[in-house]
Amino acid sequence: MRLPALSLLLLSVVACASPPPPAPQAPPVVTTTAAAVTTTQQVPDRQPHTLVLNATGSGDMMLNKVKYTLDGQVQEEGDIPLPWRKSLTVPADGLPHSWELKITYTAGRSAKLDVFVLYDGKEVSRTGGGGGGTGNTKMTGGSSIGGSVSG
């Protein structure tokens, strides 16, 4: 009978013993996800430039011929009263663009001619001309202006 008593005693000791402490838990894993934010700076489309050719004046004057050139493309007009104005579009390509304006006119004695060019609203060149002589004499003359602008 010793065996059953010993088994009972052993069972009582095991049952009374406290359970082993729980295994330490690993710290919680915290994950953060950041969404990749890509920003692109919006570059505006390059707008073309404006070259405005002008001829104004006073007195008895007639423009016999107006010849203007932009990048080798020649245009011509004739027998034009003052004021005269022509607006040309210059491509916004960063390249140099050459232009020229030639005017021939017939003018009375007190006539005056003013020729000027604007590029995007700013004056880039100016010249002039005028009449002469005495009495009712008319004279012919010319005025020429030119340059280069950056597109």
Domain count, the chain: 1
Positive or negative, the Cα torsion across 41, 45, 46, 50? negative
Determine which helix (DSSP H) or strand (DSSP E) holds 58, and give its type and residue range: strand 49-58
Q: Is residue 18 over pLDDT 50?
A: yes
Q: Is there a domain that residue 3 lies in? A: no
Alpha carbon dihedral 64, 124, 90, 97, in 10-degree steps, equals: 90
Q: Which residue has the higher pLDDT, 38 or 118?
A: 118
Closest CA relative to residue 85, chosen from 51, 49, 59? 51
Q: Is residue 84 over pLDDT 50?
A: yes
Q: What is the percentage of the chain residues whose pLDDT exceeds 70?
A: 68
pLDDT tens digits, residue range 118-147?
A: 999 999 999 988 777 666 778 888 999 999
**pLDDT mean over 45-74:** 94
**Which residues are within 8 A (CB) of 143 and not within 5 positions of it... i.e. 6 or more apart?**
55, 102, 103, 105, 113, 115, 127, 128, 129
Q: Is there a domain that residue 22 lies in? A: no
Q: Is there a domain that residue 65 lies in? A: yes
Q: Is there a domain that residue 10 lies in? A: no
Q: Which of 7-16, 55-64, 110-119, 133-142 has the lowest mean pLDDT?
A: 7-16
pLDDT score for 32: 56
pLDDT score for 72: 96
Q: Is there a domain that residue 44 lies in? A: no
Q: Is there a domain that residue 94 lies in? A: yes
Q: Is there a domain that residue 83 lies in? A: yes
pTM of this prediction exceeds 0.75? no
**pLDDT mean over 19-46:** 60
Q: Which two tokens stand for residue 30?
A: 């915290």
Identify the domain containing residue 75 by its residue range. 49-150
Q: Is there a domain that residue 2 lies in? A: no
